[in-house]
């Protein structure tokens, strides 16, 4: 940047969009989370992404292009190779002789522009747009092609007849698998099918891919925003070939079919290099495979992105910066516990702090942390790793899960000897974590003196911003469950998603947490020491300011983040019990 050129924050202040104090706060947030100032301003909600893009355009003397008002001709997108568009989010607008006009999102990414000039032998003229709008254009252009590829590949394979199926599923599956593995990914139909399944899942924001053999077909389901959505089924005769291909990619033994196996796949999808954790489980109709899609950016979210209300966030910030003690996160599988803990560690990860983790398995790699993976088969259990890591003089310890008394005792001892310990438990709510530890056999004085706080959480689906609308036709039983009075029910206005292409007509897009923060105080420590009942602990916690999952969900409903039905879905075990309350 040349001397005298205004900084981004100064431009936004001059435009009247920010106060100087907000710029200072954003700079501190950017420094803590290793972000750019523009990203920090958007993350803190001070300005919109478009405002930042306009300010950057002004800062670098570039044209700003609103892609909604001035859409790009889909035919022009073919001017640049797809891999460049997907990897760098660059959109071509037009080409005239040796000049190419493009939309970019990062004016400092000079290396990519130089590479594009060299590859296409053209002069580049740039204009700027917000990243989210460029991503939307890329998704709109390529997603339909991906869907066509997946459905079309299945259709083509279905029409190939028995001969192709017999060739691919012959007796020597290992030889067939090797041929597929050595293939360039464009000729072997099964390779193309598996690639299409994975690519489609990534581009539709799925968290898991389920390949489930059934009596007469192989069902393919994607878990999107926590809900399974079925895709077109694979013909039964292709079952062995598809499963063998996935097992080869993930490093499993394809000849082993009677025992569960685990593996990993690393592959590039679009512009992202993504890890997949693969699990196989023998079943009645054949091996079922689940691919967990591990996106690094999902674990590197700041604390602000978790969805904590301001009072809970303030307590969360205060607790994770204590020098010692245990902080537990509880909830069922898939409730975002690991993401929350990684968010806390990402905040605390500094050169002067030593962090060691024991995980089963290590899902995301973080620079600056010492991560150790559990391997029970060679005796490297949680308890063994924990005892060893204490001799490494860490400041902060992450234990993937407290599963038994032995691990709990070592974790408690670490907390009492000057370490800050993070871990997870599987309980329904926060106070239940205390009784769960006592039931494991942990001594009450250890629990009462070492546990600093317990946070229970669930993930709720957010209302799609593109199709949100007001509606009053809410089932009253859900509103009464959330504590709305009859008067509030009559006067309040709620929101939901009507359904659109961006959310696959579900009305929801993305997820956010609801939380229950149980913070230890003198009274709760005394009750824990005396082995008080769960109801006594919960009552005392509520009296000291704990807000239940339902109550936090109510606040999200009032803010228009989600719907009453969604909060009830993730917090109530049996919705049918509410039917008896209908008047």
Q: How many CB atoms lie within 10 A of CB 39?
A: 18
The predicted structure's pLDDT at residue 333: 82
Span 106-131, average pLDDT: 84
Q: What SS3 class is residue 212?
A: strand
Size of the chain, expressed as the number of residues it contains: 583
Rounded average pLDDT over 292-315 = 77
Report the range out of 6-15, 269-278, 502-511 with the highest average pLDDT: 6-15
pTM of the model: 0.66
* pLDDT digits 0-9 by tens, 515-548: 999 999 999 999 999 999 999 999 999 999 899 8
Q: What does the pLDDT read at residue 158?
A: 58
Cα–Cα dist 180/208, whole Å: 23
The share of the chain scoring above pLDDT 90, in percent, equals 25
User: Is-contact 273 266, C-beta < 8 A?
Assistant: yes
pLDDT at residue 278, as a whole number:
94
Where residue 394 falls (left for φ over 0; alpha for ψ -120 to 50; beta otherwise) is beta
Do 500 and 467 touch, CB atoms closer than 8 A? yes
User: Which residues have C-beta within 8 Å of that of residue 323, sequence separation ≥ 6?
Assistant: 418, 420
How large is the average pLDDT for residues 41-46?
85
Window from 76-85, 309-318, 396-405, 411-420 with minimum mean pLDDT: 76-85
pLDDT tens figures, 5-33:
788 888 999 998 888 888 888 888 888 77
Q: Which has the minimum average pLDDT: 201-210, 251-260, 298-307, 488-497?
A: 298-307
Residue 175: what pLDDT?
A: 36
Topology adopted by domain 136-294: Beta-Lactamase (3.30.450)
Domain 299-461+510-547, CATH:
3.40.50.300
From CA 101, how far away is CA 94, in angstroms rounded?
5
Least confident of 78-87, 168-177, 292-301, 411-420: 168-177
What pLDDT sits at residue 448? 93
Of residues 418 and 81, the one with the higher pLDDT is: 418
User: What mean pLDDT is predicted for residues 393-407?
Assistant: 89
Q: What is the DSSP letter of 161?
A: -
Query: Is the pLDDT score of 435 beyond 90?
Result: yes
Q: Name the range with the highest mean pLDDT among 112-116, 123-127, 524-528, 561-565.
A: 524-528
DSSP 79: G
**For position 302, what pLDDT does the model report?**
61
Closest CA to 120 of 101, 145, 107: 101
pLDDT, mean of residues 33-60: 87
| CA–CA dist 38, 23 (Å, integer) | 10
Which pLDDT score, from 0 to 100, does residue 246 have?
93
**Bond prior to 361 in cis (omega within 30° of 0):** yes
For position 149, what pLDDT does the model report?
58
Residue 522 vs residue 192, higher pLDDT: 522
Neighbours of 119 (CB within 10 A): 11
Q: How far apart are CA 235 and CA 238, in angstroms?
A: 6
Q: Which pLDDT score is estimated for 422?
A: 94
Query: What pLDDT is stored for residue 582 in this prediction?
Result: 45
Residue 454, pLDDT above cutoff 60: yes
Which value, to the nearest 10 degrees, does the dihedral of the CA atoms of residues 248, 249, 251, 254 take? Answer: -20
Q: Decide which of 176 and 368 is more confident.
A: 368
Q: Where are the alpha helices (DSSP H) in 391-430?
A: 405-416
Residues 6+ apart with CB under 8 A from 112: 84, 88, 90
Mean pLDDT value of segment 186-214: 84
Rounded to 5 degrees, φ, ψ at 409 are -60, -45
Residue 528 has a pLDDT of 94
Q: How far is CA 99 from CA 120, 125, 262, in A?
A: 10, 7, 51
Q: What is the pLDDT of residues 321-355, one digit of tens each?
A: 999 999 999 988 888 888 888 888 888 888 889 99
pLDDT attached to residue 29: 83
Say how far residue 198 (Cα) sits from the centre of its chain: 17
Q: What is the DSSP letter of 224?
A: E
Residue with tokens 């942990």: 442
pLDDT confidence bin for 577, thresholds 50/70/90: very low
Tell me, what's the pLDDT at 297?
A: 64
Fold held by 8-134: GMP Synthetase; Chain A, domain 3 (3.30.300)
Q: What are phi and psi of 60, to 5 degrees?
A: -105, 15
Instruction: Provide the 10 A C-beta neighbour count for residue 462.
Output: 23
When pLDDT is cut at 50, 70 and 90, the band that residue 436 belongs to is very high
DSSP codes, 310-348 = HHHHHHHHHHHTSSSEEEEEE-STTSSHHHHHHHHHHHH
390 pLDDT above the threshold of 60: yes
Q: Sign (positive/negative) of CA torsion 186, 190, 195, 201?
A: positive
pLDDT tens digits along 134-188: 888 887 777 655 555 566 566 655 555 433 333 333 333 333 344 344 443 333 6
pLDDT of residue 151: 60
Mean pLDDT of the chain: 82
User: What pLDDT, on a 0 to 100 scale, did the predictor assign at position 367?
Assistant: 80
pLDDT at site 174: 39
Domain ranges of the chain: 8-134, 136-294, 299-461+510-547
């Amino acid at each position: 940047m040349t001397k005298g050129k205004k900084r981004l924050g100064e431009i936004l202040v001059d435009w009247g969009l920010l106060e100087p104090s907000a710029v200072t706060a954003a700079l501190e947030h950017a420094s803590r989370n290793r972000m750019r100032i523009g990203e920090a301003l958007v993350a803190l909600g001070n300005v919109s992404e478009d405002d930042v893009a306009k300010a950057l355009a002004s800062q670098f003397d570039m044209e700003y292009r609103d892609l909604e008002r001035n859409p790009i001709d889909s035919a022009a997108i073919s001017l640049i190779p797809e891999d460049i568009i997907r990897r760098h989010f660059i959109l071509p607008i037009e080409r005239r002789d040796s000049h190419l006009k493009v939309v970019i999102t990062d004016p400092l990414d000079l290396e990519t522009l130089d590479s594009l000039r060299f590859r296409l032998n053209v002069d580049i003229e740039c204009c700027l747009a917000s990243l989210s709008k460029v991503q939307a254009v890329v998704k709109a252009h390529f997603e339909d092609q991906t869907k066509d590829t997946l459905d079309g590949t299945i259709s083509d394979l279905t029409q190939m007849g028995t001969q192709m199926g017999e060739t691919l599923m012959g007796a020597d599956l290992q030889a067939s698998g090797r041929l597929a593995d050595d293939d360039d990914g464009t000729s072997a139909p099964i390779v193309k099918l598996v690639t299409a399944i994975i690519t489609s899942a990534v581009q539709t924001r799925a968290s898991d891919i389920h390949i489930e053999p059934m009596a007469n077909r192989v069902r393919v389901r994607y878990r999107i925003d926590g809900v399974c959505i079925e895709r077109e089924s694979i013909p039964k005769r292709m079952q062995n070939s598809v499963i063998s291909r996935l097992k080869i990619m993930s490093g499993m033994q394809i000849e082993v079919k009677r025992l569960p196996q685990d593996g990993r796949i690393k592959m590039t999808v679009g512009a992202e290099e993504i890890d997949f954790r693969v699990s196989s489980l023998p079943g009645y109709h054949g091996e079922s495979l689940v691919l967990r899609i591990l996106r690094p950016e999902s674990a590197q979210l700041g604390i602000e992105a978790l969805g904590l209300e301001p009072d809970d966030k303030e307590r969360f910030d205060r607790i994770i910066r204590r020098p010692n003690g245990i902080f537990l996160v509880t909830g069922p599988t898939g409730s975002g516990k690991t993401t929350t803990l990684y968010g806390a560690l990402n905040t605390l990860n500094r050169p002067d702090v030593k962090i060691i983790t024991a995980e089963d398995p290590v899902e995301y790699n973080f620079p600056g942390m010492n991560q150790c993976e559990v391997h029970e088969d060679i005796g490297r259990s949680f308890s063994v790793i924990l005892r060893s890591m204490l001799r490494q003089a860490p400041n902060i310890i992450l234990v993937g899960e407290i599963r038994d008394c032995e691990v709990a005792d070592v974790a408690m001892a670490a907390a009492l000897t000057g370490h800050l310990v993070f871990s997870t438990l599987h309980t329904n709510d926060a106070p239940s974590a205390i009784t769960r530890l006592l039931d494991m056999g942990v001594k009450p004085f250890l629990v009462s003196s070492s546990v600093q706080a317990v946070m229970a959480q669930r993930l709720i689906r957010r209302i799609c911003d593109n199709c949100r609308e007001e509606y009053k036709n809410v089932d009253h039983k859900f509103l009464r469950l959330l504590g709305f009075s009859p008067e509030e029910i009559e006067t309040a206005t709620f929101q939901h998603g009507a359904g659109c292409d961006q959310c696959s007509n579900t009305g929801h897009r993305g997820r956010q947490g609801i939380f229950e923060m149980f913070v230890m105080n003198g009274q709760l420590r005394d009750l824990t020491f005396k082995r008080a009942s769960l109801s006594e602990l919960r009552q005392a916690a509520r009296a000291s300011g704990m807000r239940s999952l339902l109550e936090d969900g109510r606040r999200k409903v009032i803010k228009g983040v989600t719907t009453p039905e969604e909060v009830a879905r993730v917090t109530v075990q049996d919705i049918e019990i509410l039917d008896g309350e209908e008047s």
